Every structure is written in C-alpha cells, then in structure tokens.
Amino acid sequence: MKITHGQHYYLNAVKQNKQATVQSNSKAVESTTKKEYISVDISDEARKLSEASMQAAPSERAAVIKAAIKAGTYEVSVEKIAEGLMEAMADQKKVEE
C-alpha cells in the first residue's frame, strides 16, 4: 500500500510555509532599511539671525585681541592657561573611566 496523496499535501504545505517565511523576512528587512527623511524649512530671518550671531561674537573678540597685540598691551594669563589644562586633563580622566 502506497500513501502519496497525503505526502503531496504535506510537502506543498511545507513549501508554502517556507515561501511565506522568506517573504515576511524580506518585508521586515525592507521596513528596517527604509530611511525616512524629514524636511525642515528655516525662514530667512532665522537664517540671518543665526549667521549674524555666529559671526559677530568671534570677530569682535578677535578684533579686540588683535588691537591689544598691535599696541603691545595684550597679556597672557599663565594661571588661566594652567587652569584650562588641568580642567581638560580632569575631563579626559572622567571620559576614560
């Protein structure tokens, strides 16, 4: 006695299950690899304000320092430099720990 009819149903069910699994896995991969982009519009006024604040402060300070150097009145504070170095070293130790 040969039982083949049931075997074909079983094999077809296994094949369909594999195909469904592959399709669902590929959809999962596609959904995780899709990148969504968000568009942000910045007004001209906001852009100008940002550019002005970024450029004004450093250039004003640089002009003051350049004038002091030319006049020979610029003084370097050894204490401030040492404090800055010590703070930087302490920050590096915190990051390494």
How confident is the model over 79-86, as a mean pLDDT? 94
Q: Residue 4 carries which side chain, given as an amino acid letter?
A: T
Output the DSSP codes for 24-62. Answer: HHHHHHHHHH----------HHHHHHHHHHHHHHHHHHH
**Segment 12-34, tens digit of pLDDT:** 777 777 777 767 666 655 555 56
pLDDT for residue 78 is more than 70 = yes
What is the per-residue pLDDT across 48-63, written as a single tens digit (0 to 9) for each?
887 776 665 667 888 8
Q: What is the pLDDT of residue 44?
A: 86
Could you tell me the two tokens for 33? 């690899």
CA atoms within 13 A on the CB side of 64: 6
pLDDT attached to residue 96:
78
Structure confidence at residue 88 as a pLDDT band (50, 70, 90): very high
